[in-house]
């Protein structure tokens, strides 16, 4: 005969495992893929990301390697104003290593932080200090901002897709 304590203990273990599986499934990120120049939606914002070239900085900011520059066209397709910040974008190299954006005053379109109003697209640029290889495949990772409370993560292949 099985005691009531063992049944309660087994029930608690089964319920705990069920809850953890449920939470894992509910909060698992959704990866959304696109090629450079194609629209991709992450949370309430639709992006078009494309590689526009490399540069060596300006008199104030020089790269250790090469600045890999991208253009970001973002449009808030939601109904409430949201933010776009440079920290949402990461450069992913062929070894799947993440590189953060480098900020400086390289053009009038440099991305620092912008309010995105519904249905009003904006165009910004940002760059990443990376050893550039024209034959390598590079991707940009887009994470939503915290207020957007989305589980989407965008992955945009921008070279040699």
Residues 101-111 pLDDT 10s: 998 888 889 88
The most confident of 26-30, 56-60, 99-103, by mean pLDDT: 99-103
Q: How far apart are the C-alpha atoms of 64 and 35, rounded to whole Å?
A: 27
Average pLDDT over residues 60-86: 93
Give SS3 for 85: strand
Residues in Cβ contact with 136 at an 8 Å cutoff, skipping those fewer than 6 apart: 93, 94, 159, 160
Strands 66-76, 45-55: pairing kind: antiparallel
Beta strands in the chain (DSSP E): 30-35, 39-42, 45-55, 66-76, 82-85, 89-92, 98-100, 113-116, 122-130, 138-142, 152-159
What's the number of CA atoms in the CB half-sphere (13 Å) around residue 62? 2
Rounded Cα distance between 125 and 84, Å, is 12
- Could you tell me the residue ranges of all domains in the chain? 32-159
- The domain made up of 32-159 is a member of CATH 3.30.420.40: no
pLDDT > 60? residue 1: no
Report the side by side order of strands in the sheet with 66-76. Answer: 39-42, 45-55, 66-76, 122-130
- In what helix (H) or strand (E) does residue 13 lie, and over which residues does it extend? helix 4-26
Convert the pLDDT of each residue in 29-48 to its tens digit.
889 999 999 999 999 999 99
Q: Do the strands 66-76 and 122-130 form a parallel or antiparallel pair, or are they unpaired?
A: antiparallel
């Amino acid at each position: 005969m099985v005691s009531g304590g063992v049944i309660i203990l087994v029930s608690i273990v089964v319920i705990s495992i069920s809850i953890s599986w449920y939470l894992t499934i509910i909060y698992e990120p959704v990866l959304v893929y696109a090629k450079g120049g194609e629209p991709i939606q992450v949370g309430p914002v639709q992006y078009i990301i494309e590689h526009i070239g490399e540069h060596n900085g300006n008199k104030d900011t020089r790269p250790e390697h090469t600045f890999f520059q991208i253009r970001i066209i973002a449009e808030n397709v939601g109904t409430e104003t949201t933010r776009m910040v440079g920290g949402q974008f990461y450069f992913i190299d062929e070894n799947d290593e993440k590189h953060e954006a480098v900020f400086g005053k390289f053009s009038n379109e440099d991305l620092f932080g912008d309010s995105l109003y519904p249905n009003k697209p904006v165009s910004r640029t940002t760059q990443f200090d990376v050893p550039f290889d024209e034959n390598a495949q590079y991707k940009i990772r887009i994470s939503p901002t915290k207020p957007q409370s989305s589980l989407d993560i965008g992955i945009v292949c921008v070279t040699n897709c």
